[in-house]
A and B are shown apart, each in its own frame.
Chain A
Amino acid sequence: MPKVIVVTSGKGGVGKTTTSASFATGLALRGNKTVVIDFDVGLRNLDLIMGCERRVVYDIINVINGEVALKQALIKDKHCDNLYVLPASQTRDKDALNLDGVGRILDELKESFDCIVCDSPAGIEHGAFSAMYYADEALVVTNPEVSSVRDSDRILGILAAKSKRAVEGLEPVREHLLVTRYDPKRVAAGEMLSVDDIQEILRIPLIGVIPESESVLQASNSGTPAIHLDKSDVAEAYRDVVARFMGDEVPMRFTTYEKVGLLKRLFGGR
């Protein structure tokens, strides 16, 4: 069964697009035919993170309006064979993203893809709602700070009440908590919420913790999903997330702070 997975958060800047790019790439690397869709009409970014911005000719709004065939708008990823990107429109009005049109696109994509990753815009407005409405599963991206947690709570409420699965009384959307930009050192110092604090409020299963890292910024700027980075804890953390999503048992990493010894600082270290 093809799966529709929404990457959502409510709050902006928490790492939805970074996660969408790396998660979709990870799924593709594990042999799933995957497409990642940018729902952020007017502020499209996914194409930049995926490094395909110069190949965008048509976008999701062209497809919804019937101006081009879906195949014409899909962009093949430069790193993975079975990964495609469906970009958002930068110029159109976001109201063009109507639910019927999105549903038609998803149905068509389900015929040829295993995994459909929907990169939601921030907020709870139209674009975010269109991205989550058809979801089978949801990655709720949360930073370890109170406003992000509250916004994630709001999104979970909407998923539970207004998604297609909720409205039609089907099995509820499967929710996964993904904590990003996690800094165990600052958690230990009491400056950030811990994973346990976040789970105590949101009460959904944890699928992974992505450590705060400077390499994410470099990856974004160079148009390479972070999961491709060599020797990076972020890349490993995202691979763990994908493995857990596929059903593997992988222990949680990057959640505790270890003091780096002198020797390691001199000879090891990142």
Chain B
Amino acid sequence: MPREEPAFKIKNANLPVLVLHLKTPDMARVRAQLETRIKQMPDFFAHTPVALGLAELAGLASSDAPLDLAGLLDFMRGQRMQAVGVIGGSAAQREAAALAGLGIIPETPARPAAVAEAAPEPVVEAPPAPPAQDLGPAQPDLPGLEVEAAPAPLAPPEARPTLVIDKPVRTGQRIYAEGANLVVLAIVNAGAELIADGDIHIYAPLRGRALAGARGNTAARIYAQSMEAELVAIAGYFQVFDEGIPEAVRGKFSQIYLDCDKVVVKAMANKR
């Protein structure tokens, strides 16, 4: 007897999923700050599966208080965010999540994903926190760092317009092109930092840091008209130039890309 064609198959998949780490059991506050955040990038979370991280609530004194998950879920649905489950939290919280129709995702010791922090409450314009894992050497978050975020466009997140900067990027400034490519037309001085989730092009000397593919895009590249950088990174793999920049690329029009976990800095041919 011929066997019936299988109607499905079950496979394990490691899917990218955003985790909304809750830092307070006060859902009204979470909603208020989330709303501010979503206003800045209206379509960023649209139809995106989101897991709720409860681990940080466990440490709080009020961790036993019941969570108003239903209210939060209503709000998230209104914003077209799709909550799929919870990670961490107390047994009671997980039970409440299950009752609210959420899945229970086991905690894994995987490396932390990019964290987008909510700004402290009085701040209206929340600067997007750049993904900490990609910063190379630990960087103290100095006060007064200017952050320019990519303008929130009305387009799907994968098609954000390139962020173009036409003024010098000076020491202490940080430019983040969230979900986009970054083009800089003026000098990037030592101590300045460029971060993009896509590629970075600098049509002037690059003397500061440039971090492309900040959310893990290993195919991202950096192009610098004059390579004088302090640090370059692709998808979290970084290269510093303690001994100075190699003669072959110093001051040259160069591209930087990732080749099997190794950052390659290569001069571009002058004529082609």
Residue ranges of A at the interface with B (Cβ–Cβ < 8 Å): 124, 150, 153-154, 156-158, 160-162, 201, 203
Contacts and interface: CB of A to CB of B under 8 A. Distances in A.
Contact of A153 (B146, B148, B170, B186): B170
| Pairs A-B, 6 closest by C-beta atoms | A157-B170, A161-B146, A153-B171, A153-B170, A157-B173, A154-B172
B11 interface: no
Given A157-B170, A157-B172, A150 B144 contact: no
Contacts of B146: 157-158, 161-162
Contacts of B169: 157
Interface string B112-132: 000000000000000000000
Interface stretch (B47-55, B187-195, B251-259): B187-195
Contacts of B168: 156-157, 160, 203
B142 to A, nearest CB: 9
Given A201-B189, A203-B187, A158 B144 contact: yes
A156 B192 CA distance: 12
Contacts of B167: 160
B53 to A, nearest CB: 33
B111 to A, nearest CB: 33
B173 A150 contact: no
* B interface SS class: loop
B187 A154 contact: no
21 contacts: A124-B144, A150-B189, A153-B171, A153-B189, A154-B170, A156-B168, A156-B170, A157-B146, A157-B168, A157-B171, A157-B192, A158-B144, A158-B146, A158-B172, A160-B167, A160-B168, A160-B170, A161-B146, A201-B187, A201-B189, A203-B186
B166 to A, nearest CB: 11
B144 A153 contact: no
A158 B146 CA distance: 8
Contacts of A162: 144, 146
Q: Most B CB atoms within 10 A — which of A153, A156, A162?
A: A153
Nearest to B172: A154
Contacts of A157: 146, 168-173, 192
A161 B175 CA distance: 12
Nearest to B170: A157
B191 A161 contact: no
A161 B173 contact: yes
Nearest to A201: B189
A157 B169 CA distance: 7
A150 B190 contact: yes
A150 B171 contact: yes
A160 B146 CA distance: 10
B81 to A, nearest CB: 31
Interface in B28-69: none
Interface string B147-171: 0100000000000000000011111
Q: Most A CB atoms within 10 A — which of B144, B146, B171, B192?
A: B171
Given A157-B146, A157-B170, A161-B173, A150 B187 contact: no
A156 B18 CA distance: 37
B59 to A, nearest CB: 33
Interface in B169-204: 169-173, 186-187, 189-192
A124 B145 CA distance: 11
Given A158-B146, A160-B168, 16 more contacts: A124-B144, A150-B191, A153-B189, A154-B170, A156-B168, A157-B146, A157-B168, A157-B171, A157-B172, A157-B192, A158-B172, A160-B170, A161-B173, A162-B144, A162-B146, A201-B187
Contacts of A158: 144, 146, 172
A160 B191 CA distance: 16
Nearest to A204: B168
